[in-house]
Structure 1
């Protein structure tokens, strides 16, 4: 038993030394995403070209996009983290058993220390509650169903409000028109979009997503390889860091543009959204145009009554 323990410790030390150091130098994993959520710092880690320890960026990715969909929903974010941790465990187990199909102590040591990683166990797995926490995770299918059933209309109502703002900023100017406003946008959003949210429900959905609305709208404008948008992929798919990495810089650049050039120019600026986006070069993009009827409705909603037409 002593020899086995010493060997186990030696294996652990060897693989721990080979695993990259965490990039969350501004705080622990728990402080960054579990107890609170520091969106800018998390995105800076995801954008960092350096590797972090195994599984780290996958759980950060899951946490970030759950936060994006509903910043106030702690349970949704924690469930996404648990699911990402479970997928990391599953991948590690498959890899270890492929190399050591007979299993046994050696496979378990490789699985735990090399493929899961000591740093993941210490920084993520044990602090969030270990296996007891993972077993409380809702299945991914149910996770997506929850988002679709309870929050999909809220999310896309918010997307449409920013699209209306975007259209107004680009095409409606003084003196004939006022700055875009939430009141004006909510009066017209049900007429120009396929949403059945009431005005009060839309305003409530907006209030809950103020910190992440720049990201939500930006994600709705980025097309992915399968013809969907990044926002649809986040809602429907088992995303991980590898799958979203090609889109992250565009997401952040577009979100910076949304925060600085659209939301900041509304009657009620959304400062929380700007604070959540790293300081990067904005990536401008054009609004998806409305038809003549919808455009006229938006123009009417933001018309300045003091202007003599």
Structure 2
């Protein structure tokens, strides 16, 4: 231990540290002050509002910080009660950041060398990242604790089905809200209970159509999520609903942002430019749909809109249309919501 202490105090090591710090200053202009990842994303309570503020800010943060927080945000939005999934997705984002740094310095094409290792670890990965993220995740122990992606997919499968069902129900609410605002005298206000009944009727039609067109094939199991399951997610996920539905209507190439979130690949680097539009669309969900809900007391309606506002901040609403629906679906909605 004395030998280690001597090395830590040696002039050679001090000179090496000074040289690395000079390179860091040249690369980034010095460390940037930002809230720690631990203070925002660790523990049972995820500081979603503060994380969104960091992601929206013009400050770049330290290398990798916003990608780690974006991974935590996506897990919290989808699975707000599952801290283990959140930590697993952030761990994967951490390892991706470190792997990217090694690829940038050419480790895939060249043998290991000390200059490349120093550049990858202390300049591109960064001392702030190593202290704020890598060290807080347990260093090398994080590699051993990391859960494989295919295992995570199995764990979250039922939750994803619930989320996609809730999003489908919200599309019916969106359609009803659009029509009510145009025809308030002949159309009922959007109602979660009525939307769930629409879903039940649509699923029944799907099953009947499959039976009618199938020959010697087993009818698929059109699992109908119970009202209690849907209402539980509706109640427990108040703060996430507007963002989830808006994500389903925001295109990322040939996919939706919700598809990206569910795949666990949402990152600031690739999707940060969409965040402002996403929040604007979520505000529209709150103003256009939540504010009209008929089967909620005024107090509960205000809760939904207030939770959304507190989470996303003060942004202007950006309108968008509901997903295209088949004629059969539209007929079922109209039969349920027409006075």
TM-score, reference length from structure 1:
0.86
Partner of 1:307: none
132-141 or 206-215, which moves further after superposition? 132-141
Contact 1:167 1:289 in 2 (8 A): no
Which residue among 298, 302, 307 is the counterpart of 1:272?
307
| 137 and 251 in structure 1: CA distance in 2 versus 1, 3 angstrom threshold | same
Which residue among 13, 22, 36 is the counterpart of 1:14?
22
Q: SS in structure 2 opposite 1:14?
A: helix
256-265 or 128-137, which moves further after superposition? 128-137
> What are the ranges of 5 or more consecutive residues in structure 1 without an aligned counterpart?
305-309
The within-5 A match list for 1:100-249 is 101-147=110-156, 149-172=157-180, 173-192=183-202, 196-225=224-253, 227-236=254-263, 238-249=265-276
| 265 and 139 in structure 1: CA distance in 2 versus 1, 3 angstrom threshold | same
> What are the ranges of 5 or more consecutive residues in structure 2 without an aligned counterpart?
1-6, 204-221
Cα separation, 2, equivalents of 1:23 and 1:259: 33
1:51 and 2:79 correspond: no
1:259 and 2:269 correspond: no
Contact 1:157 1:195 in 2 (8 A): no
Partner of 2:209: none
Cα RMSD, aligned residues only? 2.6
Partner of 2:322: 287
TM-score, reference length from structure 2:
0.79
Summarize deviations over 1:68-99 as a string: whole Å, max 9, x none: 11222211111111000011111122233449
Contact 2:179 2:187 in 1 (8 A): no
Cα separation, 2, equivalents of 1:23 and 1:206: 37
How far is 1:282 from its partner? Answer: 1.3
How far is 1:21 from its partner? Answer: 4.3
| 102 and 174 in structure 1: CA distance in 2 versus 1, 3 angstrom threshold | closer
Q: SS in structure 1 opposite 2:255?
A: coil
Contact 1:15 1:117 in 2 (8 A): no
How far is 1:51 from its partner? Answer: 2.0
The within-5 A match list for 1:35-114 is 35=43, 36-98=45-107, 101-114=110-123
